[in-house]
Every structure is written in structure tokens, then in C-alpha cells.
Amino acid sequence: MRRALILTSRRPCGAGDVSCRHAGAGSGCLQLPLQLSALQREHGECAVWDAIQPWLVSAIGGCFGALFLLPTKLGEAVLKFRFDKLLEAAKTDSNRDIEQLREKLSHLSDRGKRSNELEFAAVQTVWDKLMEAYLSVGAAVYSFIEFPDLSGLKDEELRSYLATVDFTDQQIKQVTDATDRKDAYVKVIMWRSIAKAINDVFEVRLLLRKQRIFMQDNLREQFQAVIDLMNSAAIERKLNVQHPHIPQKEWGGNALKYSKEIDGMVDALAAAVNARLFRADPVPLAERDR
């Protein structure tokens, strides 16, 4: 086609053709070289286009394919990145929470162990002191006094005997100089027992006030009830000895109540103390904090 086109485009140029470069020469020529150059340029451009067309089509197709696939891949990458970040943050928070919980449990365990030790020591100390007061008040209220026949003893023998029962020099002189040595001896013994009972009750009451922070409320209340009964009985016994002319029933009957109820109250308290100190079940956290 192109060759035919080139051949048919040949024409002579005459002297009157102004477009011919040989017009001045007065001879005719052909325009074939110019047309051949134009056709060669056109042919070269077509060849270049034919060469790059497949690459261009492939590139455009690849671009469109990438554009279609890019959102999916990019979305997956973004989601994976965000998921990894959230997972890492969740692991960090979880580890921190676990460490805090472990520290809290360790603290509660140590505090629970320490509080149990303090409670045990406090209850045992108060119980021991309460038993001393229990015996002292019983001796003061019941007045079981045993003594030898003092009337047959000489002064030196009487002084030696009174020294063995821890009489002071003043008390020894009081009994020795008394007309009725038996009565003087009984009064000294009674006042000594009453004073000891009142002092022991005071000490156990003070000890309970100090140690109550380590004890449960119900157990402390049982201790307090026993101490109050012992104190009222000891005070009544003191007033009765000071004022023997006033009938004992006028003082409220606390000594009589003591003799009837104290043993049962002490037994109930002992059972409560034993159950508390030697329990088999673990102590709830709410009770540990109390």
C-alpha cells in the first residue's frame, strides 16, 4: 500500500512550479525525496507505536489491577497493624492487672497471717488475765479463809506465821496488838482479798481495752460482760465489809448473781475463744478487716 502510494505520487515539476527548488534551473524534477522523507518519518512513528503499545497496555492494565487490589491489601495491612497494636496494649494492660492483683493477694495474705497472729496473742493474753481476776473475785466473794488457832500462839510465833503468809509489818503489828487476834486476822485477809480482786479486775479491763482492736466484736463483748459481772461483785463485797450493819441484799445482789451465773458465762466464753482460735475454716476477708 505504502509503496504503491509512493509510486503514484510521483509527478514532474516544470519551470512554472514555484514550489520546486529546481525551478530556477529551468529543468524539471521530481518531489519524490521529500515525500519519501515524510513517509519514512510516518513509518518510523508507526513502528515505535507498534513497539511500545503492548508495554503501554500492560502498564495501564497493571495500574488498574493495582488500583483494584490496593484497597484490599492496604486494608488488610492496616487492620493487621491495628489488631497487633490493640493486642499488644491488651497484653500490657492484662499483665499490669495481673501484677497488681498478685501484689494485692500477697498483701492480703501477709496481713491476714499477721492479723491472725495478733488476734491469737491478744485473746490468749486477755484470757489468762481474766482467769486471774476470776479466782481473785471468787476468793473475795466466797471468803474461804483458813487459819490456825491464833490465841494459843506467842507473839514471836504469831509474827513468824504472819510473815509466811505475806503480811506487812503494819498488818503484823495490827494483828499482834489486837485484843481479838482472830477477828483482826480475818479482817486483814478479807481486805487483802478484796483489794486484790478489784485490782485484778481493773487490770483485765484495761488489758481488754488495749487488745480489743485485734479481737472480734462479739468475742470482746463476751469478755466485757464477764468482767462487768466480776467488777460489780467485788465492789459489792467491799461495801459489805465496810458497812457490815447494812444487809447484803441492799447492795443490789450482784454477789449472789455472780455466784449463780459466773461459771456458765466463763464456760461459754471459753467455748467461744476455743472456736475462734482453733477454727478450721479460712477467715473471710471481711472478717479480717474488722
Check if the beta carbon of residue 140 is closer than 8 Å to that of residue 197. Answer: yes
In tens, the pLDDT along 94-121 reads 777 776 666 666 655 556 678 888 899 9
| Structural domain boundaries enclosing 210 | 115-288
How far apart CA 147 and CA 205 sit, in angstroms, is 32
pTM of the predicted protein model: 0.57
In tens, the pLDDT along 55-71 reads 666 666 556 555 555 55
Tell whether 29 is covered by a domain.
no
How many CB atoms neighbour CB 64 within 10 A?
Answer: 10
User: Following CA atoms 89, 92, 97, 98 in sequence, which dihedral angle do they give, to the nearest 10 degrees?
Assistant: 140
Tell whether 247 is covered by a domain.
yes
Region for residue 243 given its phi and psi (left: phi exceeds 0; alpha: psi -120 to 50; beta: otherwise)? beta
Q: Report helix angle 217-242 to 254-277, nearest 10.
A: 160
The domain tally of the chain equals: 1
In tens, the pLDDT along 247-275 reads 777 777 888 899 899 999 999 999 999 98
Tell whether 200 is covered by a domain.
yes
User: b/e string for 7-17 if b means 16 or more Cβ within 10 A?
Assistant: eeeeeebeeee
Tell whether 157 is covered by a domain.
yes
